[in-house]
C-alpha cells in the first residue's frame, strides 16, 4: 500500500510539516507530563482512525516506558482503573476536542473545569495545543492514506 501523496518528499508538505513539528516541539518542551502526552496522542489517533499515528504513538509510548496494559486500555479508559484522575481528565478533553463537530456547543464547561482541576494554565495550553496538533497530523495521514506498521520509535526525532 502506498500513500496517495508523499508527505516526506513533497516540498509544500515538507514545509507544512516543519511548522507543525515546531508546534509539537513547544508542547513536548512544556510541563505537561510525558505519559499524559502519550495517552492523548494515542487516544486522538484511535478516534480519528489514523493507523499511522496509532502505530507511531503506541510504539513511542512503549519505548518511553508506558505499560502494555495501559496502552491496551486507552480506548476503554472510562472503564479502566489504571489511569489517574488527571489522565482521565486529559483523555476526556482529548475526546471532546477531537469530536468537536459532534457536540453542539463544543467542549462542555464541565469537561474543561475537570481538566483545570488537574492542570495549571501552562499545562492546559500545552494540552489544548497537543490535541490540535495531533488532530492535524491525523487528518493529514488519513487523507493521504499513509500506511501503518513500519514505524520505528524515534524515527522522526
Residue 36 CA neighbour count, 13 Å, CB half: 27
Mean pLDDT of 89-107: 91
User: How far is it, in rounded angstroms, from Cα 107 to Cα 99?
Assistant: 9
Q: Residue 77: pLDDT band by 50, 70, 90 thresholds?
A: very high
| Residue 91 domain flag | yes
| Residue 46 domain flag | yes
User: How far is it, in rounded angstroms, from Cα 118 to Cα 5?
Assistant: 40
Q: Residue 154: pLDDT band by 50, 70, 90 thresholds?
A: confident
Q: Which domain holds residue 59?
A: 11-144
Mean pLDDT of 128-146: 98
| Residue 139 domain flag | yes
CATH value at residue 128 = 1.20.1290.10
| Residue 150 domain flag | no
| Residue 152 domain flag | no
In the chain, how many domains are there? 1
User: How far is it, in rounded angstroms, from Cα 74 to Cα 82?
Assistant: 9
| Residue 1 domain flag | no
For the record, the C-alpha cell of 102 comes out as: 459532534
Q: Could you give the C-alpha distances from 42 to 25, 72, 121, in angstroms and in order?
A: 17, 10, 23
| Residue 153 domain flag | no
Per-residue model confidence as pLDDT tens digits over 2-53: 999 999 899 999 999 999 999 999 999 999 999 999 999 999 999 999 999 9
For the chain, the straight-line distance linking the first and the last C-alpha, in angstroms and rounded, comes to 25
Over the chain, what is the mean pLDDT? 96
| Residue 5 domain flag | no
Amino acid at each position: 500500500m502506498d500513500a496517495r501523496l508523499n508527505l516526506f518528499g513533497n516540498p509544500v508538505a515538507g514545509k507544512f510539516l516543519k511548522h507543525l513539528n515546531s508546534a509539537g516541539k513547544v508542547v513536548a518542551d512544556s510541563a505537561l507530563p510525558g505519559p499524559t502526552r502519550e495517552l492523548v496522542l494515542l487516544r486522538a489517533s484511535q478516534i480519528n482512525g489514523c493507523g499511522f499515528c496509532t502505530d507511531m504513538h503506541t510504539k513511542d509510548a512503549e519505548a518511553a516506558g508506558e505499560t502494555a496494559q495501559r496502552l491496551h486500555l486507552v480506548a476503554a479508559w472510562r472503564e479502566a482503573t489504571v489511569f489517574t484522575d488527571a489522565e482521565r481528565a486529559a483523555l476526556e478533553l482529548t475526546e471532546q476536542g477531537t469530536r468537536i463537530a459532534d457536540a453542539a456547543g463544543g467542549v462542555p464547561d464541565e469537561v474543561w473545569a475537570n481538566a483545570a482541576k488537574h492542570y495549571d494554565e501552562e499545562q492546559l495550553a500545552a494540552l489544548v495545543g497537543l490535541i490540535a496538533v495531533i488532530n492535524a497530523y491525523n487528518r493529514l495521514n488519513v487523507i493521504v492514506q499513509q500506511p501503518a506498521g513500519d514505524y520505528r520509535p524515534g524515527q522522526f526525532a
